[in-house]
Amino acid sequence: MPRTLSDMLKESSERYSSRPALLFKPGFRYLVTSYRELWEASGRVATLLQQRAVNKGDRVIIWGPNCPQWVLAFFGCVRAGAIVVPIDIRSTPDFLRHVVNQAKPVLALTSSMPAFDTGPVGLPALHFEELDELMYQLPEPTDVHMAPDDLAEIMYTSGTTGDPKGVMLTHGNLLANLRSIQEIIPDAGRHRLLSLLPLSHMFEQMGSMLMAINGGGNITFTISRQPAILFKTMQERKITMMLLVPQALELFMNGIEAEVERQGKTKTWNRLLSLARRLPHPLRRRLFKKVHARFGGKLEYIVSGGAALDAELGEKWKLVGVKVLQGYGATEASPGISSHTLEDPRFDSVGRPLPGVEVRISDDGEIQIRGDNITSGYWQAPERTAEAF
């Protein structure tokens, strides 16, 4: 297993070379980035950062929608030795100002859209849309020695008090969680993922971006979240796996059932669900082949996180022939803590601790977690760190 995220990307680029890693359709055709191209382009981004005096340990904000450039920015920072500070696209100016004041980033990599303007906080920025031009024909970056204990990113969360706190995650933390996830989803290389949740959150970043790139899978990004665009993308790319929050799972199912009702087939739908309870998984997929066709015909797994999944909703997806994998996590755990298995997904709990993760319940009911995936604390907040650890 690699020791740093840079090592991981390099190994994947050598192992999977010409295999597609990232796909994006801004117009009429897909733009495809292979694993080799991802390694080369991230190196040029690292050079671009180094030319702008970004040194090892400097903080760099990434702020923008999911897209291939977000991934390039992330690995460019990693290869330059910078510490990534991802910002949610819905962040308020006050939140951004707090992060800038505390993390003291030297640069931002952002979308050029007005919503992502860092000018008001006095932070210089390079835009995703100009990266290709800026890094054209740049040489390989200067090698930066990285160790597992070096910080890879600072992930800001609002916390229960609403006061943002920066969770420090090392290369070792992230790779430890990646190893655990590999044992739950060992066949990542064959999966075609659709990236919908923000990469600025650890759930999507770990469960989609890092898992796919480590295993040789590919990730498709969409230019819009409009249902028509999403369904068309799933059909074109034959998506096999997505990460969703329970609310999105409910919206998708509500959409299916609304169409069933519109066609006057509610009684038939309910009879098929009843029949599916007595059928094995492959026959359930055949029974609901029209539903599967809507999602591209190849959707196998949905990983649910971010909130508790309603058991009835999870069971309904299972009856339709899509396995929903529910787990539990926290940003401080990089983020995975527990999960069910793909062989036996259940909805009455959040599963067993991931391999390499220990969980116990204290006498006062506090959930306590130990493992190599656990953060060492909060950035520039020793009192908060002492309280939590």
pTM across the whole model: 0.96
Q: What number is the average pLDDT over the span 377-381?
A: 95
SS3 180: helix
Q: How confident is the model at residue 343 (pLDDT cuts 50, 70, 90)?
A: confident
- Residue 109 confidence (pLDDT) above 70: yes
Q: What number is the average pLDDT over the span 54-73?
A: 98
Q: What is the pLDDT of residue 162?
A: 64
Q: Do residues 77 and 136 both lie within one domain?
A: yes
Q: Do residues 170 and 254 both lie within one domain?
A: no
Q: Do residues 302 and 376 both lie within one domain?
A: yes
Does residue 195 belong to any structural domain of this protein?
no
Q: What is the pLDDT of residue 344?
A: 82
Does residue 319 belong to any structural domain of this protein?
yes
Q: What is the pLDDT of residue 159?
A: 57
Does residue 337 belong to any structural domain of this protein?
yes
Q: What is the pLDDT of residue 231?
A: 96
Q: Do residues 17 and 98 both lie within one domain?
A: yes
> How do residues 187-246 score in pLDDT, each as one tens digit?
989 999 999 999 999 999 999 999 999 999 999 999 999 999 999 999 999 999 999 999
Which CATH number characterizes residue 49's domain? 3.40.50.12780
Q: Find out whether 252 and 206 touch, Cβ atoms under 8 Å.
A: no
Q: What is the pLDDT of residue 26?
A: 92
Q: What number is the average pLDDT over the span 173-196?
A: 95
- Residue 146 confidence (pLDDT) above 70: yes
Q: What is the pLDDT of residue 345?
A: 87
Q: Which of 128, 124, 143 is nearest to 46 (CA)?
A: 143
Q: Do residues 172 and 272 both lie within one domain?
A: no
Partners of 303 in the β-ladder: 243, 325
Q: Find out whether 45 and 81 touch, Cβ atoms under 8 Å.
A: no
Q: How confident is the model at residue 1 (pLDDT cuts 50, 70, 90)?
A: confident
Q: What is the pLDDT of residue 158?
A: 74
- Least confident interval from 75-79, 275-279, 309-313, 343-347: 343-347
- Least confident interval from 31-35, 233-237, 284-288, 341-345: 341-345
- Residue 252 confidence (pLDDT) above 80: yes
Pairing of strands 83-87, 107-110: unpaired
Does residue 69 belong to any structural domain of this protein?
yes
Q: Do residues 64 and 147 both lie within one domain?
A: yes
Q: What number is the average pLDDT over the span 138-157?
A: 97
- Residue 160 confidence (pLDDT) above 70: no
- Domain residue limits at 255: 227-388
Final residue of a structural domain among 180, 195, 217: 180
Final residue of a structural domain among 124, 153, 180: 180
Q: How confident is the model at residue 161 (pLDDT cuts 50, 70, 90)?
A: low
SS3 240: coil
User: Total structural domains in the chain?
Assistant: 2
Q: How confident is the model at residue 86 (pLDDT cuts 50, 70, 90)?
A: very high
Q: What number is the average pLDDT over the span 120-141?
A: 95
- Residue 150 confidence (pLDDT) above 80: yes
- Least confident interval from 89-98, 306-315, 341-350: 341-350
Mean pLDDT of the chain: 96
Q: Which of 239, 230, 235, 229 is nearest to 192 (CA)?
A: 239
Q: Please report which residue ranges of the chain form alpha helices under DSSP H.
A: 5-16, 35-51, 68-80, 93-103, 131-134, 171-184, 202-204, 211-215, 227-237, 246-262, 266-276, 281-287, 289-294, 311-320, 382-388
Q: What is the pLDDT of residue 334?
A: 98
> How do residues 10-63 score in pLDDT, each as one tens digit?
999 999 999 999 999 999 999 999 999 999 999 999 999 999 999 999 999 999
